[in-house]
Amino acid sequence: MVRDLHRRRGRERRELVLLEGVRLVEEALAAGLPLRGALVSAGLEGTPRGVALKAALASATPRLEVVSDAELEALAATEHPQGVIMVAEPPDWKLDAVEVGTASTVVVLDAVQDPGNVGTIVRTALGLGAAAVLALPGTADFTNPKTLRATMGAYFRLPCLSLSVAELREWLVRHQAALWVGDMNGELLAGRGGAGVLAIAVGNEGAGGSPELAALASRQVRIPLAPNAESLNVAVAAAILLWEVTRGG
């Protein structure tokens, strides 16, 4: 099962996620995710924190298996898995259940392919008070182990959903939301400007936003850069855009 969950197809078929490392497993336990099982090795018990986590897993998971450090490392995606791998059910986020107020902001990911960038954006979105992160086709899946590690547990607390452009269009209409797309040639972004429900979109690391998304946008916005700077990392750009509309709200 652990080997299968390294593959997107395996995660989708089993509807399970694979979690590695002390911090991420602690966050999953705190969030109350339904657990399927865990693997632990002697390496987990090298610190009091690890000992406490093993005890928590023993009482929380229906299946706890002790393996050697070498066996666990062979099953892990990371070089230093910290002696623990856990299998759990992901949060069952629903688009209709996203809580949207009069000045809510959601983040839209348009084919953001790097799992680390996706996870960092989810973590930032939670920290800056976004209502959800919505991923369009071509975006790295939220349950990718690298994505989950980069979220640092934010995925368990913030609605993160994959949807089509058509579904996004319907959501925007239903909530009378404005869609602003980050673009190097857009207007200079300076605050929220009185916008109500707002969707801030960032595009693919190399190609930028898609024409389909641009057609839905009411505004294209940019971040001012120094003359000799070509671009920003997409996760950094998302953080700046989100901070600016939050600060201006």
At 134-154, the pLDDT tens digits run: 999 999 999 999 999 999 999
CA distances from 237 to 39, 199, 240 (A): 37, 15, 5
Predicted TM-score (pTM) of the model is 0.91
Which stretches of the chain score pLDDT less than 70? 248-249
| Burial label, 197 (beta-carbon count in 10 A; 0-12, 13-18, 19+) | buried
> What is the predicted pLDDT for the residue at 248?
52
Under CATH, to which class is 95-247 assigned?
Answer: alpha beta
How many Å separate Cα 143 from the centre of its chain?
A: 8
3-class DSSP state of 94: coil
The whole-angstrom separation of Cα 221 and Cα 1 is 44
DSSP state of 196: S
Domain spans in the chain, listed from the N-terminal domain onward: 4-88, 95-247
CA nearest to 161, candidates 78, 240, 59, 90: 90
| The CATH number of domain 4-88, selected from 3.40.190.10, 2.30.42.10, 3.40.50.300, 3.30.1330.30 | 3.30.1330.30
Q: 8-55 pLDDT, tens per residue?
A: 999 999 999 999 999 999 999 999 999 999 999 999 999 999 999 999
The whole-angstrom separation of Cα 201 and Cα 106 is 9
Structure tokens at 45: 């018990």
